[in-house]
Structure 1
Amino acid sequence: MPGAQVQGSTLQRSTPLSAASMTATITATPAEVLAYYSQVFQAQGFTAQPGDTVDGVPLKTFVRAAGQEIVIVSVVQTGDSATVTVGATVLPGSLK
């Protein structure tokens, strides 16, 4: 997300699925973060799943490839900044 400061990231290439994650901070509201990532992942062919929170935490799940590929975006607001975590399990060919 533009303006975000990456705090950490991981990438594990493997088969049949690879995993990637990123944690970043940004001065944005959880609604702004989820709206941004909804546009990004839906443009890549992911389908947003129902619901925008889990146990009160803003969170959005996206799936693609008949459910084989899953991306989860969660946001924790602390004062004026938000900590965003994006985690993905995807087919190796989807990694860029």
Structure 2
Amino acid sequence: MKRVYSAENAFDAQIIRDHLEHQGITATVHGNMLTGAIGELPMDTRPTVWIEDPDLYERARDLIAQFERARPEGEQWICRHCREINEPAFEICWACGRDRET
């Protein structure tokens, strides 16, 4: 196994793992339960993504880089209905399900 990604949180690690799996690269997330120990343990406790086949390392890193470049840019937006803050990628509010424009 070989580590290909170090995430800020478990959610980001899972997204990268899913993306790699979708591209045919078997991957797993390690350390997603350690984030609660940040500052308490003398080690890097961020979740990491590992691939089973080290020969696919360069391909996996390329796929991750392409994925990160394709992430929507922009600013967070506030739902006009429930006032929840949403990330730029969301077209509907994650809290109430209303369309961004309504």
- Length-normalised TM-score, structure 2: 0.32
Structure of greater Rg: 2
Higher RCO (CA < 8 A, seq sep 6+): 1
TM-score between the two structures when normalised by the length of structure 1: 0.33
Q: 1 or 2, which has the higher helix percentage?
A: 2
More strand by share: 1
